[in-house]
């Protein structure tokens, strides 16, 4: 009985973390879009405005992905610790890590382990 309550509690915690990650992505995307539209109404859209939009959107996606990966790890380790679920978790983490690295390069113009040499890239 107690074990099932713990598993149920962990299940709800992971769902809350997943909802938080999704909300971060949705709110961040909406906020980025609103700022982009406000700036585009003020004048012509230049590379700086587009670069700021892409940067803020990418940062929201990165933060949301971190929450989603955390929820997957908690769910797999605490609730379903089988070899097949660990293999699925490894695949999910691999894909999300690749996405995170790709977004980091897109936002900052450098790999995460490289030292910053200037300002973020404005494409």
Domain membership flag for residue 19 = yes
Residues in CB range of 69: below 8 A, 6 or more apart: 92, 93, 96, 97
Task: State how many domains the chain has.
Answer: 1
Q: Is residue 122 part of a domain?
A: no
Give the closest residue to 68 by CA, choosing from 103, 108, 18, 5.
18
Nearest-angstrom CA–CA distance, 84 and 28:
34
Residue 96 in any domain: the answer is yes
Q: Provide the domain limits for residue 100.
A: 2-108
- Does 13 reside within a domain? yes
Segment-wise mean pLDDT, segments of 10 residues, the chain, 123 residues: 82 94 96 92 83 88 89 81 82 82 77 64 49
pLDDT for res 99: 81
pTM, 2 dp: 0.74
Q: Is residue 114 part of a domain?
A: no
């Amino acid at each position: 009985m107690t074990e099932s309550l713990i598993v149920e509690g962990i299940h709800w915690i992971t769902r809350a973390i997943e909802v938080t990650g999704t909300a971060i992505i949705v709110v961040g995307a909406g906020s980025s879009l609103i700022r982009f539209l406000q700036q585009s109404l003020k004048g012509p859209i230049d590379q700086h405005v587009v670069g700021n939009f892409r940067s803020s959107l990418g940062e929201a996606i990165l933060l949301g992905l971190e929450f989603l990966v955390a929820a997957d790890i908690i769910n797999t380790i605490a609730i379903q610790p089988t070899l097949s679920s660990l293999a699925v978790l490894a695949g999910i983490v691999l894909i999300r890590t690749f996405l995170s690295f790709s977004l980091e390069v897109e936002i900052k113009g450098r790999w995460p382990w490289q030292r910053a040499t200037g300002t973020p890239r404005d494409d």
